[in-house]
Amino acid sequence: MARSPVVRAFAPVAVLVFLAGCSSLPAFRSVPCTGAEPARVVVSPAGESSITLDVLTYNIEGLQWPARSGRARSLRAIGAKLRALRAAGDAPDVVLFQEVFSPAAVRSVVDTGYPSIASGPSRRRRSVYSIDAALPGRPRPTKGEQGLRLMTSGLVIASRYPITQTVSDAYSRKACAGFDCLSNKGVVLATVAIPGVPEPIALANTHMNARAASRVAPGRNLAAHRAQALELEAFLADRPAPDSPIILGGDFNMRGSPERFIEFRQSNPLELVHEYCSAEAKCDVRLSWDGDAPWLDTQDLQFFASGSRVRVAPIRVQAMFDGSPGSPKLSDHDGFRVLYRLSWSGGTASAGDADMLCRPGR
């Protein structure tokens, strides 16, 4: 007996409801400050101190069946590759992961061996920074707009340095469109204490509403993206230690959409790495950037701002997991890796300053 169109439309969602109980994120952990790997502080003749901070943002395509199948092998390879790079001393200092949904994806992140891990909103987490969004058109239950979150945010931050505090927020239930509503997309921020650096560093990770993959009208998914940008702005403005340096990365879903990009930039004033490195000769660009707006050629971006004491500047950008020699293609996204220079006047933080920066809740 043939199934009706309504039954066929709801069948994949029904399967995801069944699998929702398997959706979880890695537990929080942090290396003690006394056990953290030291950063190499360089002091110039003029008395300026600096270190480098290597940050990778990577959507690992860790979706569950029926959305994806056959991903376990590639996910294991991602974990193994990053673990090997860590052993060789060539891994990023911090990794911002997106789409850590399946059990295999969670194992991949844990298997990297990073000593500090902070995860984003769980499946049940409600929004704190909700705005009164009104999306055009009617809700589409057969496209995932059912008011249910069947998956977590899929967001994880992994760090070689101590994480002293983590805060997160889910995008509100009105600020989503289409199949993206099945996951509890949002933002997570980890406060990282780097030995010797006189100010904590905020690392934030997000995943925003898709366009065509949401399977709803462009006007509807655009409005959801706009609402999420406003909620992200409110979250970042209210972050712990708002005067500290910040690096924001993730999957922003703005590729090929000048309209999305312009609206996002209006509400989020952080400096964009692509723009900075397109204009700054001192930035070592190891990517092929075509056209006048290379930031519109990718979903994966990083933004930054200096703090009251520590200045932040990108000095190198490159792709990772892009299919080049030694960097296998293991996801539908490439990794976007940025090396930053953190600099400040004077020497390294004193023992008393370091102890203060490492206290939980900073």
The per-residue pLDDT for range 150-171, each reduced to its tens digit, is 899 999 999 999 999 999 999 9
Which residue did the predictor score with more confidence, 353 or 98? Answer: 98
For the purposes of burial, counting CB atoms within 10 Å of the CB of 258, is it exposed (0-12), middle (13-18) or buried (19 or more)? exposed
Give the model's pLDDT for residue 355.
57
On the question of pLDDT at 199 being above 80, the answer is yes
- Among the listed residues 76, 67, 56, 71, the one whose alpha carbon sits nearest the alpha carbon of residue 16: 67
Ranges 22-26, 141-145, 174-178, most confident: 174-178
Neighbours of 324 (CB within 10 A): 13
Half-sphere exposure of 171 (CA within 13 A, CB side): 31
On the question of pLDDT at 130 being above 50, the answer is yes
Q: What is 162-220 written as a DSSP string?
A: -EEEEEEEEPPTTS--GGGGGB--EEEEEEE--TT-SS-EEEEEEE---SGGG-S-HHH
Give the model's pLDDT for residue 350.
54
The structural domains of the chain, with segments of one domain joined by +, span 5-357
- Among the listed residues 98, 93, 117, the one whose alpha carbon sits nearest the alpha carbon of residue 60: 98
Mean pLDDT of the 251-256 span: 97
Q: Measured between alpha carbons, how far is 266 from 226 in angstroms, rounded to an integer?
A: 10
Provide the sign of the torsion angle of the four alpha carbons 82, 306, 283, 59, taken in this order. positive
The per-residue pLDDT for range 69-106, each reduced to its tens digit, is 789 999 999 999 999 999 999 999 999 999 999 999 99
On the question of pLDDT at 216 being above 80, the answer is yes
Q: Measured between alpha carbons, how far is 315 from 280 in angstroms, rounded to an integer?
A: 9
Mean predicted lDDT score pLDDT of the chain: 89
Amino acid residing at 12: P
For the purposes of burial, counting CB atoms within 10 Å of the CB of 317, is it exposed (0-12), middle (13-18) or buried (19 or more)? buried
Structure tokens at 297: 């050629």
On the question of pLDDT at 258 being above 60, the answer is yes
On the question of pLDDT at 126 being above 70, the answer is yes
Q: Measured between alpha carbons, how far is 343 from 313 in angstroms, rounded to an integer?
A: 9
Give the model's pLDDT for residue 361.
54
In terms of DSSP H, where are the helices of 248-329? 258-267, 273-279
What letter does residue 81 receive in the DSSP assignment? H
Give the model's pLDDT for residue 173.
86
- H or E stretch covering 19: helix 5-19
Give the model's pLDDT for residue 339.
98
Q: Measured between alpha carbons, how far is 175 from 113 in angstroms, rounded to an integer?
A: 35
Q: Which residues pair with 337 in a beta bridge?
A: 56, 318
Give the model's pLDDT for residue 212.
84
Give the model's pLDDT for residue 342.
98
- H or E stretch covering 53: strand 48-62
On the question of pLDDT at 183 being above 90, the answer is yes
Q: Which of 34-48, 87-101, 127-141, 185-199 has the lowest mean pLDDT?
A: 127-141
Judge contact between 244 and 308, C-beta under 8 A: yes
Give the model's pLDDT for residue 10.
46
Q: Measured between alpha carbons, how far is 97 from 205 in angstroms, rounded to an integer?
A: 8
Q: Which CATH architecture has domain 5-357?
A: 4-Layer Sandwich (3.60)
On the question of pLDDT at 11 being above 80, the answer is no
The number of residues in the chain equals: 362
Ranges 6-15, 122-131, 170-179, 185-194, most confident: 185-194
Mean pLDDT of the 215-229 span: 92
- Please report, for residues 6, 7, 122, the alpha-carbon distance to residue 11 in angstroms, rounded to integers and kept in the order given: 9, 6, 24
